[in-house]
Amino acid sequence: MSGMEDLFRENILDHYKHPRNRGTLDHPDITYEDANPLCGDRIRMDVMVKDDRIEQVRFSGVGCSISQAAASMLCEAVEGRTLDEVRGLSRDDMLEMLGIELGPVRLKCGMLALKTLKAGVYGLHQWPGEDD
Amino acid sequence: MASLNREKSRPGTTAQGRGDARSARQAADHPSGGARVGAIERPERGAGAPSPAKEHPAARVVLGPFDAHAVRKQFPIFRTPRAKPLCYLDSAATSQKPDAVLAAMDHYYSSFNANIHRGIYGIAEEATAAYEDARRRVAAFVNARSPRELIFTRNSTEAINLVAYSWGRSQLKSGDAILLTEMEHHSNLVPWQILAAERGIELRFIPVTGSGELDLGALSGLIADGRVKLVAVVHISNVLGTVNPVAEIVRQAHAGGALVLIDASQSVPHCPVDVQALGCDFMAFTSHKMLGPTGIGALWARRALLEAMPPFLGGGEMIREVKLRESQWNELPWKFEAGTMAIAEAVGFGAAVEYLEALGMDRVFDHDRELAATTMERLREIPDLTILGPPAARRGGVIAFTLDGLHPHDVATVLDDEGVAVRAGHHCAMPLHEKLGVPASARVSFHCYSVPEEIDALVRGLHRARKVFAK
């Protein structure tokens, strides 16, 4: 398990305090919500798709700093990307964005946004990374 | 026939008289069973007289005024060197274990490890005697009329499931109702949901008020139609700390023709509980929350109910006679203890009860509640902190809270960095959190080894959490 200084690195706190792409879309092509029942984290992803690319993405919800920062980072990373590129995102990619190691409990917080986005876009219900 | 011989020589049977004598002694020490349990429902303090001296190291070490620092020294986890001293504020999840409990289990394994109720050699009889002695101790601890009323289970959850499967499936029928409360732990909720779905039974709930207490005024209306056959209620809430008026609930439930099961997971470990004074019908509690090991808990129930109930699990030991197509059940309590039980854990459970008796449960409860009151006072200095549940006078040693704009996980992570262990989440009570309108909370809870210095560390950590996440 990582200590607090590792867990709450500057970039995590920055995304948590100043989230990017936070909000909802009026007419999303895809909207999907998922929750981590163990800790009450909840994320909704709204996506607008144009020419197989993610034109706009917004997240909303409540949760701990890790889950909210991960959602913010993920939105930033996928805007403008093709759906195939998003399909290819793995657990390791998400961990790389976060730049920290996560223990078994916080891993679920860190993966909730990716899980929600992939489930919404592709109807995947597997844990990200389990399929590869 | 071997079983006949065994019936005669069974240590549990021969020692039965001793167990009853011990209960009688205990009753004499506490002339009024009602007074013992009254201590938990009255906010004022009892004298907290220590239990009669027993052959136990703790009895010699901790006499006179309650000294939590001295108690703490007897728990090896606090002596283990670590970067920051451990501030363990999660005893409602599980308690720490004193030397005496670990030594008792170690002694069993290294001196007389053998299966119980079977061997006729020396160490097997010694193991059987130790196992049954633990049962007598635990039974006497809650003032059961007889050790036969005390069934060892894996934990509280299994004890409640035992009642749901055995009593529920044999006694309840479609159209009956079970009355629960909105503050139940999932363990006193899900077994009844399963039964309800299977048998067409209605579930009803005593509402929780804004102050985190049961709306007792609703009780008579909920049982008025006579369909409620069981009221299953938590004694002390694992989230709110609320001490529920279970004696009054029992009185009203019995008047309405319902039996009462008490989930005593947070009460038996922390305060005097007397099943006879409460008048309940079933009670579930677990060893690991009361200084004992995991893997063992207990169901206490009225003997007449247990006699009429079919077995829960089938297998070895729970039978008197087995033929290929049918069997006769063993007598109580063994009818409900199929297969090899957790013997070492039972021995440890017995040692934990002995340790707690030496401390004095009145004093343990006073200590818990004193720390809770201090903590609630200290938490007022943290901005935007909301404590869930009733005022200190009406709660045990449990405090759950939320910090505006801060997720409990983040609070717990910062606290962890200060060496402070608290629980964050919904504490296996999701419906209650929904009712309170919060997704999750952070919770601190105490036991006999908790000391005020831990509260200082908690408050320091909370200030730091505010600073780390300040926007």
Q: Which residue of A has its CA nearest to B434?
A: A40
Question: Could you count the other beta carbons within 10 Å of the beta carbon of residue B128?
Answer: 24
Q: Which residue of B has its CA nearest to A103?
A: B413
pLDDT at residue B110 in the model: 98
> For B306-330, what is the mean pLDDT?
89
Q: Which residue of B has its CA nearest to A8?
A: B468
> For B302-318, what is the mean pLDDT?
92
Tell me: pLDDT of B17 over 70.
Answer: no
Chain B: nearest CA to A14, how far in angstroms?
Answer: 9
A-chain residues near B410 (CB < 8 A):
8, 64-66
Torsion of CA B304, B306, B310, B312, to 10 degrees: 170
> For A5-30, what is the mean pLDDT?
88
How crowded is the C-beta side of B171, counted as CA atoms within 13 Å? 19
Q: Answer whether B469 sits within 8 Å of A17, measured CB to CB.
A: yes
Provide the CA B191 distance to its chain's centre, in angstroms.
Answer: 17
CA nearest neighbour of B289 among B272, B273, B269: B269
Question: Would you state the structure tokens that stand for residue B256, as one six-digit string?
Answer: 């309405």
Which stretches of B272-401 are DSSP H helices?
A: 275-278, 303-308, 343-359, 361-378
Pairing of strands B420-421, B87-88: parallel
H or E segment at A45? strand A41-50
Q: What is the CA radius of gyration of chain A?
A: 14
Long-range contacts, B337-340 (Cβ 8 Å, 24+)? B337/B151, B337/B152, B338/B311, B338/B312, B338/B313, B338/B314, B339/B313, B339/B315, B340/B115, B340/B116, B340/B316
B280 near B149, Cβ under 8 Å?
no
Q: Is the ipTM of this complex over 0.85?
A: no
Separation between Cα atoms, residue B50 and residue A95, nearest integer Å: 55
Mean pLDDT of chain B: 88
- Of A82-86, A118-122, B257-261, which gets the smallest average pLDDT? A118-122
pLDDT at residue B64 in the model: 66
Separation between Cα atoms, residue A43 and residue A36, nearest integer Å: 9
Q: Buried b / exposed e across B101-118, counting CB within 10 Å, b at 16+? A: beebbeebeeebebbbbe
B266 near B244, Cβ under 8 Å?
no
- Amino acid letter, residue B5: N
B-chain residues near A106 (CB < 8 A):
409, 413
Contact of B428 with chain A, judged by CB distance below 8 Å, is answered with no
Identify the bridge partners of residue B153 per DSSP, sorted by sequence position.
B297
pLDDT at residue B13 in the model: 33
Nearest to B425 among A13, A38, A62 (CB): A38
Q: Answer whether B469 sits within 8 Å of A63, measured CB to CB.
A: no
pLDDT digit string (tens) for A41-94? Answer: 899 999 999 988 999 999 999 889 999 999 999 999 999 999 889 988 999 999
- Of B153-162, B320-329, B446-455, which gets the smallest average pLDDT? B320-329
- Amino acid letter, residue B402: T
Question: Could you count the other beta carbons within 10 Å of the beta carbon of residue B353?
Answer: 24
> Which are the catalytic amino acids of B?
428
> For B389-410, what is the mean pLDDT?
94
A-chain residues near B430 (CB < 8 A):
37
Tell me: pLDDT of B11 over 70.
Answer: no
Question: Would you state the structure tokens that stand for residue B422, as one six-digit string?
Answer: 């608290």
Main-chain phi, psi angles of B335, to 5 degrees: -55, -30
pLDDT at residue B428 in the model: 86
Chain A: nearest CA to B74, how far in angstroms?
Answer: 29
H or E segment at B437? none
Q: How confident is the model at residue B63 (pLDDT cuts 50, 70, 90)?
A: low
B-chain residues near A42 (CB < 8 A):
439
B11 near B129, Cβ under 8 Å?
yes
The residue whose two tokens read 């119980």 is B116
- Amino acid letter, residue B456: D
pLDDT at residue A3 in the model: 65
Question: Would you state the structure tokens that stand for residue B51, as one six-digit string?
Answer: 């239990």
Can you list the domains of chain B with their CATH numbers? Answer: 132-356 (3.40.640.10), 362-468 (3.90.1150.10)
DSSP B389: S
Higher pLDDT: B53 or B223? It is B223
Question: Would you state the structure tokens that stand for residue B273, as one six-digit string?
Answer: 């509980």
Nearest to A4 among B413, B430, B433 (CB): B413
Tell me: pLDDT of B37 over 70.
Answer: no
Chain A: nearest CA to B407, how far in angstroms?
Answer: 5
CA nearest neighbour of B277 among B152, B143, B398: B143
Q: How confident is the model at residue A24 (pLDDT cuts 50, 70, 90)?
A: very high
Helix, strand or coil, per DSSP, at residue A118:
helix
Q: Answer whether B439 sits within 8 Å of A40, measured CB to CB.
A: yes
Share of chain B above pLDDT 90, in %: 77
pLDDT digit string (tens) for B349-377? Answer: 999 999 999 999 999 999 999 999 999 99
Helix, strand or coil, per DSSP, at residue A37:
coil
Provide the CA B66 distance to its chain's centre, in angstroms.
Answer: 22
Main-chain phi, psi angles of B229, to 5 degrees: -105, -20
Nearest to A8 among B426, B433, B468 (CB): B468
Question: What would the DSSP string read from start to end of B326-343?
Answer: -EEEPPTTGGG--SS--H
Separation between Cα atoms, residue B187 and residue B154, nearest integer Å: 13
Q: What's the N-to-C CA distance of chain B in angstroms?
A: 78
> For B49-65, what is the mean pLDDT?
46
Helix, strand or coil, per DSSP, at residue B131:
helix
A-chain residues near B469 (CB < 8 A):
13, 16-17, 65
B39 near B272, Cβ under 8 Å?
yes
Q: Which residue of A has its CA nearest to B406?
A: A64
pLDDT at residue B319 in the model: 83
pLDDT digit string (tens) for B128-184? Answer: 999 999 999 999 999 999 999 999 999 999 999 999 999 999 999 999 999 999 999
Separation between Cα atoms, residue B161 and residue B194, nearest integer Å: 10
Tell me: pLDDT of B1 over 90.
Answer: no
Q: Answer whether B417 sits within 8 Å of A3, measured CB to CB.
A: yes
Tell me: pLDDT of B240 over 60.
Answer: yes
What is the dihedral sign for C-alpha B168, B171, B173, B179? negative
Separation between Cα atoms, residue A39 and residue B408, nearest integer Å: 8
Question: Would you state the structure tokens that stand for residue B54, as one six-digit string?
Answer: 């027993």
B-chain residues near A17 (CB < 8 A):
469, 471
Using a CB–CB cut-off of 8 Å, the residues of A that contact B are 3-5, 7-8, 13, 16-17, 37-42, 62-66, 106, 109
Question: Would you state the structure tokens that stand for residue B365, as one six-digit string?
Answer: 């409860």
Q: Answer whether A38 sits within 8 Å of B410, measured CB to CB.
A: no
Q: Is A131 exposed, middle or buried (0-12, 13-18, 19+ CB in 10 A)?
A: exposed
DSSP B115: -
> For A94-105, what is the mean pLDDT?
89
Can you list the domains of chain A with their CATH numbers? Answer: 4-121 (3.90.1010.10)
Question: Would you state the structure tokens that stand for residue B408, as one six-digit string?
Answer: 């409990």
- Amino acid letter, residue B367: H
